[in-house]
Structure 1
Amino acid sequence: MNRLPGLDLLRAIAIVWVMLFHGLRYGTPYRDFSVLGWMGVDLFFVLSGFLIGNQVFKSINKRKELNIGEFYISRAFRILPAYFTVLAIYVLVPISQEGRGLQPLWQFFSFSVNLFIDIKNSNTFSHVWSLCVEEHFYLIFPLIVLLIMKRSGTGLVIFLSLLIVIIGMYLRADILLNQIDTIPIYRDYVEKIYFPSYTRLDGLLAGVLLATLKVFRPHFWQVLLTNSNKVLFLGGLSLALSIWIFKDRFGLMATVIGFPILSISLALIVASASSTSSILAKTKVPGAYVIATLAFSYYLTHKSVFHLVKTYGGELIQGNGYVSFFVYGFSATLVATVLYLSVERPFLKLRSEFLNRKNTRHYANAEVSHSNN
């Protein structure tokens, strides 16, 4: 999929929002906005579900097949080099650890940190929980699609997505009511409800449903794009409703229905941003493209950078929120740029070269086979 300015803007907003949320403990400003920054992760989930769903569905719709190996290789080149580089730094340079310790390494290698984390004793690199959720999605989603697309159409995709959302709602309610009894509630809630993949699929599935409409219901998708600003308005209203619901973030209503409503609202905003005529696409924000490009490197490194800045220069900027905002932001950008240029971009180029060679060999073999027949 070609990069769209509206989606780049949303990606930039998502990562800045997340970093502002994590920056609250360092005294950065914009508290009323930053305290909701955890929603930036849900925006990332919707974007990932939409982009990956579009990639998978497009391949099946055009070729009537999906190359699972190629999909996994593509994801591995995209995720693993930068991820393992940062993990190695955390292990080899203990001063980079922003928390109280690391979970066992096998959990990072197996992307199971979100299922076993003990945030009281080992919360360093804990933000990798959301990457674990996405990795589980990348692993299972193409396999499920292969099974169901040969037997039916979009109806089953929609039905299964809604079923998974309903199961997630039930699980969150059951866990909140029957398994969480600690005061304060935060630690148990995060470990048992907020981090696990099986309770956090709403955003990814909302993105997948958008991709389903785009690929298999193009006429309906075109209606959304034509009315992109109306869709954006509707998404904004439902986002406002989500924010109101999450005023009691650990309450029953927020836990059960808050995440689906938030995901739907963000999906509407993503749909609007996919149109070149939407306000989001036409809004020119300086640096948005660069921030969107660096988003994954920001995500991996920003908490460690914030920790190091506070450790070695925190006293110099303490008490001045806007100076702190600039120093933390500049430092995070510098480190993210280094990681992107030295690791992320070279491996993205290698991915393109590898997949191009693979496809060239595939088509050459297909031509030979055809001529022999």
Structure 2
Amino acid sequence: MSATSQTLEKHKLHGLDHLRALAITYVLLFHYQLFDHPDWVNSVGSFGWTGVDLFFVLSGFLIAGQLFNTIKKGNPISLREFFAKRFFRIIPPYLVILFLYTFIPFLREREHLAALWKYLTFTLNFGLDLKTTGTFTHAWSLCVEEQFYLILPLSFLLLNYFKAGKKAVYILAALFILGFFFRYASWHYWVEPQSSSEHFGAIWTKFIYYPTYSRLDGLLVGVSIAGAYTFYPQVKETINRYSNILMLLGLIILIAAWFVCTPEDTFITAIWGFPLIALGYGIIVAAIVCPSNFFYKLKSAITDQLATLSYGLYLSHKLLIHLSQNLLYKVGIEKNSNLMMACCFDIAIVGALFLRFTVEKPSLKIRDKILQKWKQDKLSEPVAVSI
């Protein structure tokens, strides 16, 4: 293994914490536009919807990286351990927030919660119509990730069973190309015929923005980076030499994507916008995990904390912003003021901290105990001895 590879494995990837913090901040700014807000938020937060795409790239990179490392070491993939890790990390806090949305209606930021079964089966993102569903709609991205977590390890097992090896890269390429096809077909058959509708934005999101088959670009880019870094060390070495330049290139691509995707609900965005955004964020992720990158060893207590709280913040921020604005307005703080916005974000962080220590951390402790027990049971299994 190269020196760079060893360093990457041993060093905490602070750069990824910076990116998680950026992603959740960008999402918060974008969603704050749904509430009363200062005028400047429209300019700064208009591209914030791409924070979800950054989360997709990070998920693809990290989850696939774990599986690729297992394969590289010659170990079998344990579906039991994989799904246990994902379950205790994601499901308990999600169910708590879903419970609040379901049984305490005044906490909802909008009317019309979707059918409960759609949240429980993580299928909300299919057929999600903003005309009829207005609250907890940001769970759509969790649906995409949960479907990804289900399909990815099973795909790895199938590829290993058929000894696909390096041919798996063609499957990634095919899926990426299929994304163009699905978005084009969705636009042609369902979106464009309703271009004159007063609810065009809801139509566009329903058929283009939310479905998993339209939003695989970021996840596939993340998986591709993880695969290249795991099985092709020379790729990692090359990117390491030019990591800061490549990170700048990724930023330039994102700026270009901003122009391409403004306005958002267009044919160009549907076909070219999503892959361009995924590429830009993917290049930044590939660069920032390299030891030569400026952000690799740059520690920040702020971004570290935001990264840790990012999941809880994502789940609860709309609920807490809605509740905070209604309560603080009664004590004289204007809803569209900077002070209101600062208070709402502070309360959202406090809420995420509460969720972290009351639900997330206890769940992770239970997970660790279960995994440790499984490990001990495996070690205690009798070994067959042939004579």
- TM-score of the aligned structures, taking structure 1 as reference length: 0.94
Q: CA deviation at 1:319?
A: 6.1
CA distance in 2, matches of 1:36, 1:190: 15
Q: Tell me whether 1:280 sits opposite 2:295 in the alignment.
A: yes
- Once the two structures are superposed, the pairs formed by residues 172-251 of structure 1 within 5 Å of their partners are 172-180=183-191, 181=194, 182-251=197-266
Counterpart contact for 1:4–1:276, Cα < 8 Å: no
Q: CA deviation at 1:147?
A: 1.2
Counterpart contact for 1:117–1:123, Cα < 8 Å: no
Structure 1: which 5+ residue stretches go unaligned?
A: none
Give the corresponding residue for 2:45: 34
Counterpart contact for 2:129–2:203, Cα < 8 Å: no
Q: CA deviation at 1:247?
A: 1.4
Counterpart contact for 2:127–2:207, Cα < 8 Å: no
Aligned length: 371
CA distance in 1, matches of 2:100, 2:204: 29
- Once the two structures are superposed, the pairs formed by residues 64-103 of structure 1 within 5 Å of their partners are 64-103=75-114
- Once the two structures are superposed, the pairs formed by residues 332-343 of structure 1 within 5 Å of their partners are 332-343=348-359
Q: CA deviation at 1:372?
A: 6.7
More displaced 10-residue stretch of structure 1: 118-127 or 6-15: 118-127
Q: CA deviation at 1:313?
A: 1.7
Give the partner amino acid of 2:177: I
Counterpart contact for 2:64–2:226, Cα < 8 Å: yes
Distance 1:241 1:154, change over 3 A: farther
Distance 1:108 1:159, change over 3 A: same
Give the corresponding residue for 1:10: 19
Counterpart contact for 1:154–1:216, Cα < 8 Å: no
- Once the two structures are superposed, the pairs formed by residues 1-373 of structure 1 within 5 Å of their partners are 3-24=12-33, 25-28=35-38, 29-152=40-163, 155-180=166-191, 181=194, 182-314=197-329, 316-318=332-334, 321-365=337-381, 368-370=382-384
Q: CA deviation at 1:291?
A: 0.6
More displaced 10-residue stretch of structure 1: 350-359 or 300-309: 350-359
CA RMSD of aligned residues (A): 1.8
- TM-score of the aligned structures, taking structure 2 as reference length: 0.91
CA distance in 1, matches of 2:118, 2:104: 19
Deviation string, structure 1 residues 224-274 (Cα, Å, up to 9, x no partner): 123211210111111111111111322222110111111011011011121
Q: CA deviation at 1:156?
A: 2.6
Instruction: Give 3-state SS (helix, strand or coil) of 1:114's partner.
Output: coil
Structure 2: which 5+ residue stretches go unaligned?
A: 1-8
CA distance in 1, matches of 2:199, 2:135: 21
Q: Structure 1 runs of 4+ off > 6 angstroms?
A: none
Counterpart contact for 1:272–1:280, Cα < 8 Å: no
Counterpart contact for 1:305–1:331, Cα < 8 Å: yes
Identity percentage of aligned residues: 33
